[in-house]
Amino acid sequence: MKIVTVVGARPQFIKAACLSRAVRDEGEGFIEEVLVHTGQHYDDGLSAVFFRELAIPEPAYHLGVGSGSHGEQTGRMLAAVERVLEAERPAWVLVYGDTNSTLAGALAAAKLHIPVAHVEAGLRSYNRLMPEEINRVISDHLASLLFCPGRRAVANLAAEGITKGVVETGDIMADALAYAAGRMETDPGGTVARRLGLEPGGYLLATVHRSENTDDPGRLGEIMEALEDLARETPVVLPLHPRTEKALRTSFPGLLERRVPGLIVLEPVGYFDMIGLQKGARVILTDSGGVQKEAYWLGVPCVTLRDETEWVETVAAGWNVLAGTDRERIIRAVRDSRVPGSRPPLYGDGRAAARILAELKAAGREEGFHGKG
């Protein structure tokens, strides 16, 4: 059975690596995966580094779509993915998460009557101003198999009338973290933290890339002021997404050159370095979806630089605080953050890839596919 997997952005490479590995190791020749990279992310530090670190095979197709406005970027992807699907005629198209690459993959497939499987289905922020919310709602409504990271995602889909093809698999990012933990045990290497001379528990880690924060100079300015203030007390490591770097250079010329003592601005780091940095952080400040969960799994308190989150269970468990972007609120949230007494298991057990693979195999058998092609 042939599956076309469409990926394009950093977190999708990390997620897809786990399932691609499972297909190679346990697919038993039943599933042939054709990997398509839309080219949404193209910098080495946002793309190739993950292919190297996570041993993801070279994509069969690289669409080279690059950056652009939402309509322009998604439209280019849609046309290019459609051409691939016409040529490959797969049994399924597999998409991950909620980026424009997800939407383009799902829409191109659905229009060609090719069933869509969506990994990380059912998440909702209920904020339609987020481009991701639009992408995930549409992708879920187009999908025939919906792999949910947790119970709430299943319930969110049911509330929209989607119950068929819904499977709670656990979160594939937990699989990725387990893989990284294993690799880092045998090859602890020189983590970025050590190279920077930072002690475990002796620094804060921050990531910012969400459009609601980068495209609004008011919100971005508050976040940067909070980070600068915090850095005067405790070093703050900030691996900077290129989108945020561009926004800072446009809205706050000179800020990145100002060199506030304690604020350590880095290029985006690879996955293992990022996990190492998160593990050693006292508190993580982020607007990333993936990083909120990783903070939880690694037992590091998280301050989320957003007004709402899809990962509400981490907030309910006391490990994640929604601080928005008010400078004072962010600083207070970091100062007040404590390690709660317990950390109930959330979002599965790190075996999502095996469950997804089993479901895909079952779907293939039901439809009468008996081997490749």
Question: Catalytic residue positions?
Answer: 209
Based on C-alpha coordinates, what's the Rg of the chain? 20
> In which element (H, E) is residue 37 found?
strand 32-37
| Residue of 291, 305, 333, 352 interacting with ligand UDP (CB under 6 A) | 291
Residue 292's binding partner out of ligand UDP, ligand UD1, none, with CB under 5 to 8 Å set by partner kind: none
- Please tell me the distance from the alpha carbon of residue 302 to that of residue 362, in angstroms, as a whole number: 38
Q: Indicate the residue among 102 and 191 with the shorter CB distance to ligand UD1.
A: 102
Is 242 near ligand UD1 (CB under 6 A)? yes
Q: How far is CA 265 from CA 22, 161, 168, 258, 259, in A?
A: 36, 45, 38, 11, 9
Q: Which stretch binds ligand UD1 (CB under 6 A): 35-43, 154-162, 169-177, 251-259?
A: 35-43
Site for ligand UD1 contains 86 (CB under 6 A): no
Minimum distance of ligand UD1 from residue 7's CB (angstroms): 11
| The dihedral sign for the CA sequence 5, 9, 11, 14 | positive
Binders of ligand UDP in range 294-313 (CB under 6 A): 294
Q: Which is nearer to ligand UD1, 58 or 366 (CB)?
A: 58
Can residue 11 be called a binding residue for ligand UD1 (CB under 6 A)? yes
Residue 51 makes contact with ligand UD1 by CB under 6 A: no
Q: Quick one: which of 99, 278, 286, 314 contacts ligand UD1 (CB under 6 A)?
A: 99
For the segment 248-287, give every residue that binds ligand UDP (CB under 6 A). Answer: 268-271, 274
Q: Does 350 bind ligand UDP (CB under 6 A)?
A: no
The dihedral through the CA atoms of 291, 120, 353, 90 has a sign that is: negative
| Binding-site member from 38, 74, 101, 207 for ligand UDP (CB under 6 A) | 207
- Containing 109, the helix (H) or strand (E) segment is helix 100-111
43 sits near ligand UD1 (criterion: CB under 6 A) = yes
The one among 52, 55, 64, 67 contacting ligand UD1 by CB under 6 A: 67
188-225 b/e (C-beta count within 10 Å ≥ 16 → b): eeebbbeeeebeeeebbbbbbbbebbbeeeebbbbbbe
Query: How far apart are the two ends of the chain, measured CA to CA in Å?
Result: 5
Q: Which of 209, 282, 355, 361 binds ligand UD1 (CB under 6 A)?
A: 209
3-state helix, strand, coil in the chain (%, to 5): 45, 15, 40
With CB under 5 to 8 Å by kind, the binding choice for 121 among ligand UDP, ligand UD1, none is none
Q: By CB under 6 A, which span of 19-27, 96-104, 167-175, 291-299 interacts with ligand UD1? A: 96-104
DSSP annotation string for 155-177? HHHHHTT--TTEEE---HHHHHH
Exposed, middle or buried, 250 (CB in 10 Å: 0-12/13-18/19+)?
Answer: exposed
Contact (Cβ atoms closer than 8 angstroms) between residue 36 and residue 5: yes
Amino acid at 114: I
Q: Could you say whether residue 9 binds ligand UD1 (CB under 6 A)?
A: yes
**Minimum distance, C-beta of residue 247 to ligand UDP, in the bound complex (Å):** 15
Task: Tell me the torsion sign for CA atoms 259, 261, 263, 267.
Answer: positive
Residue appearing with tokens 């939402």? 70
Residue 121 lies near ligand UDP (rule: CB under 6 A): no
Distance CA 56, CA 209 (A): 24
Residue 11 as a binder of ligand UDP (CB under 6 A): the answer is yes
Helices (H), 27-69: 48-53
Between residues 304 and 337, which has the closer beta carbon with respect to ligand UDP? 304
Contact predicate 13/47, CB 8 Å: yes
Interface stretch with ligand UD1, choices 7-15, 176-184, 323-331, 343-351 (CB under 6 A): 7-15
Q: Indicate which of ligand UD1, ligand UDP, none lies near residue 246 (CB less than 5 to 8 Å, by partner kind).
A: ligand UD1
What the block records as the tokens of 144 is 């025939």
- Of 15, 37, 41, 219, which one interacts with ligand UD1 (CB under 6 A)? 41
Site for ligand UD1, rule CB under 6 A: 9-11, 40-43, 46, 67, 98-100, 131-132, 209, 242-243, 246
Site for ligand UDP, rule CB under 6 A: 10-11, 14, 207, 209, 239, 268-271, 274, 288-291, 294
